[in-house]
Amino acid sequence: MTMSQAPQVLPPLKSIRKYCISCCIGLRKEISDCPGSETTPVCPLWLLRFGKGVKGVSPLKSIRAKCLDCSGGGMAEVRRCMHTDCQLYPFRMGHNPNLKGKRGKRSESTAKHTPISPKSLNQGRVIPVTAQGNSQVYGR
């Protein structure tokens, strides 16, 4: 690892699992006994406490909600959080630091309206995109 690289952190679901284990004083069995239900979870992480994904539940949004809860609902307090040893700390702003730099801005090659090459126009295979956003492709 070079100096410019940030240390790799656990994925969000594994971080949630570790956080829940530490919340239960290190006793894994206690996680099963954590109070709450699917309709009335006592914690924003309750549905994800086993470290497994749940359809329709975003781990990053759940972590963000937990951090807001921990900080008394203040977004500025979440940003200024000093609990750097918390398993959720790297995700507190709702972003996964493991993906930093991997999801850059779209390049021109993937832009919505990629220009059509003059060669394709000359071969009669493509009609340029119309004002309605339609285009037609013709084969020979």
pLDDT digits (tens, 9 = 90+) for 34-83: 888 878 878 999 999 999 999 999 999 999 999 999 999 899 999 999 99
Mean pLDDT, the chain, rounded, equals 78
Cβ atoms of 92 and 71 closer than 8 Å: no
pLDDT at 101: 74
Greater confidence (134 vs 9) lies with 9
Distance CA 54, CA 60 (A): 12
pLDDT at 131: 52
Would the pTM of this model clear 0.85, i.e. be above it?
no
How much is the average pLDDT of 96-124?
A: 58
pLDDT at 75: 92
